[in-house]
Structure 1
Amino acid sequence: MPPESRDRATDPPEGTAAGSGLPPANPYAGSYRRGPFTVVEVSGEIDMATADFLAEHLVAATGDARPDVLVDLRGVAFFDCSGLRVLCRAESRARERGGRLRVVSDHPRIHRLLRASGLLDRFPPLPETP
C-alpha cells in the first residue's frame, strides 16, 4: 500500500455522527442513529457549565421532521436543573415537529430528580434503549 493511501480519511461507518449530520461527540454527549431513533448518550456531570454540550446534540437530534430521540442518561454521574431545562426545551422542539423525546435511565437518582421536579409524567424513564 503506498504511503499516501494511509493519509486519506476513510468514510465513517453508517449511523455515526460524522456520517449523519449529527455533531461530533464531546466529553458529555455523543449521538448516533439506531434504526428509527436518534440516540443521544450523555455522560459525566451535566450542570450549568456543561449543559450546552448536551444542548448541541439535542438541537441537532430534534431538527428533523418527526424526530424520535432517546436520551440515554445511564452514564450520567450528576444531573441538575440545567440539564432538565435542556431536556424540556428539546422535548418541546421534538413535539412541535411531530416527534418525541424519551429518556433512558435505570438510576433511582434520575427518577427522584424527575419526580421532585414534577417531570416524571413528561419523561417516564425507559430502563434501556429499545
Structure 2
Amino acid sequence: MLPIGGNLQSGSRSWGPRVPVGGVVEVERNAAPPTRHLRVHREQGHTVLEFRGEIDIAAAAEILPHLDDVTARPGARIVIDLSPVEFFDCSGLRLLYRARSRVADHDGRLHLVCAHPMTLRVLRVTGLHRVLPPLPTLDEALRQPRTPSV
C-alpha cells in the first residue's frame, strides 16, 4: 500500500484511482497498465475495472485479456465501473456476462457501477440488471457485503 503523496517507482504514471483525502492506495505489483478503454486498480480490497469511452467490439478485444486475468482469481472481489463509458453495445454486454460467469465459478463477488441512462436502459432491456444489479456509485459498490455471490 502507498500513502497519498508517496512515490511509486521512477517512470510510473499518476493515472491511478481516485483517493479520499488522507486515504491509502493499494498498488498491485502486476496491475494492468492503462489502455484506451480500461484502467485497472485496487481499492479497499477490490479490483476495479474502469471501462472508458466507447465499448464496442474493438474495445472488448482490448479489455478481454485483463478481464480474464482478474476474474480467474479465486474469491476475487471485483467492481466493473461503467461511469466513464460513452457508448456501450452488445460487445460490452458479452464482457459483463463473461465476468459474471467467471467470478461465480471462482466463488468471487462482482459489482457493477452504472448511472448513465442509456447504458441502464440496455441493461434493463437485456435483463442483465436482474443478475448483475447496477449501483450508482463506486463508493456504494465498495461498501457491499463481502460474502461470495454474484
Q: Does 1:117 align with 2:131?
A: no
Using the size of structure 2 for normalisation, the TM-score is: 0.73
The match for 1:80 among 89, 93, 103 is: 89
Moved more, 46-55 or 68-77: 46-55
- Give distance in 2, aligned partners of 1:34 and 1:68: 10
Q: Which residue of 1 aligns with 2:10?
A: 10
- Give distance in 1, aligned partners of 2:113 and 2:96: 12
Letter in 2 for 1:58: L
1:103-114 aligned at under 5 Å gives the runs: 103-114=112-123
Q: Does 1:35 align with 2:54?
A: no
Using the size of structure 1 for normalisation, the TM-score is: 0.83
Letter in 1 for 2:10: T
Query: How much does 1:72 deviate?
Result: 0.5
Letter in 1 for 2:125: A
1:66-105 aligned at under 5 Å gives the runs: 66-105=75-114
Where structure 2 has 5 or more consecutive residues not aligned to the other structure, the ranges are 1-8, 17-24, 143-150
Letter in 2 for 1:33: R
State the Cα deviation string for residues 50-101 of structure 1 (Å, max 9, x = none).
1122222211221211111100000000000011101111111111000022
Identity percentage over the alignment? 38
Moved more, 89-98 or 55-64: 55-64
Seen in structure 2, the aligned counterparts of structure 1 residues 25 and 87 have a Cα distance that, compared at 3 Å, is same
Kindly name which structure, 1 or 2, has the bigger radius of gyration based on alpha carbons.
1
| Contact in 1 for aligned 2:100/2:132 (Cα 8 Å) | no
